[in-house]
Amino acid sequence: MGSWLRTAPGRYLLAWEQDRLDHGVSDAFGFHALQLGLPELDGLRANRMPHRWVASDSLIVPEPLPDLPAPDGISTTQVEGQRIHLHCEFDALPFPNTSLDLVVLPHSLELARDPHLTLREVERVLVPEGRVLIVGFNPASLWGLRQRVGHGRQRLGLGRDEGLFLPRAGDFLGYWRLRDWLRLLGFEVETARFGCWRPPCESERWLQRFAWMEPLGDRWWPVLGAVYVVEAVKRVRGMRLVGLAKRDLRARPKAQAVVAQRRRETDEMEHG
């Protein structure tokens, strides 16, 4: 993944993701934030939490790629402070329950050995009302179509890596499937943004030629972008008594009042 991000489409994709994450984490408040995977992307640079970690499943942790201008001339100011690098498995995070305020997953579910278990770990470590930002490739896009064609060529023995446009590792996780997973774990999706509508071109020159597709894609076919960013909040519902238990609690004080009233009426009759 790291070597592909240094190609022309990789830099184009990374610039868009960096811009969207800068906007997504800038208004997230708390004390502890975690980026899970893809250390080449500094997903927490615009966040002001005092404790920020970057977890990787590799012992070799690369630094963020420099000189990545944001698209459309948008730039953000990097917050001072260093990231603390961790080495751990994505489905066994070394954090206690309800201890993190923000978790960023840049393509982490696609590269994890068990994406569903990884998402369960994220739900475990997040505090109530904690936020998670998930970045993933969109299979319903031109990039996803070219990747499926490349996999088909591999199955037919027509080439190993020649037909692939995106990195070999990992499988795409569709947007609607991700929403279902989040809902089952108690998350509420607040925002979802798609981007990168240019065709899967490998040269910088052709990517620049198709720059006119960006505003059109954002307006006319937004869900067909090559990548998406989903922001969700962990909701914890309050406990409520329902059924017979709730009815018994309501009926108990009423019964005592009726008994007391009957005793007073009996005493008045005896002394009357």
Q: Do 43 and 116 sit in the same domain of this protein?
A: yes
Q: What pLDDT score was predicted for residue 249?
A: 44
Q: Do 177 and 120 sit in the same domain of this protein?
A: yes
Q: Do 252 and 211 sit in the same domain of this protein?
A: no
The CATH number assigned to the domain holding 142 equals 3.40.50.150
Q: CA-to-CA distance for 201 and 133, rounded, in angstroms?
A: 27
Looking at 163-172, 189-198, 203-212, which range is the least confident one? Answer: 163-172
Q: What pLDDT score was predicted for residue 153?
A: 65
Which residue type, as a one-letter code, is found at position 99? S
Question: Can you give the three-state secondary structure of 38-62, one letter per residue?
Answer: CCCCCCCCCCCCCEEEEEECCCCCC
Could you give the number of structural domains in the chain? 2
Q: Do 189 and 272 sit in the same domain of this protein?
A: no
Q: Do 61 and 127 sit in the same domain of this protein?
A: yes
Q: What pLDDT score was predicted for residue 65?
A: 59
Domain that holds residue 229: 4-234
Model confidence over 55-108: pLDDT tens digits?
987 666 566 655 444 444 334 334 445 678 888 889 899 999 999 999 999 999
Q: Span 17-44, mean pLDDT?
A: 92
Q: What pLDDT score was predicted for residue 141?
A: 87
Model confidence over 135-156: pLDDT tens digits?
999 998 888 888 877 666 666 6
Model confidence over 224-246: pLDDT tens digits?
899 999 999 999 876 454 554 44
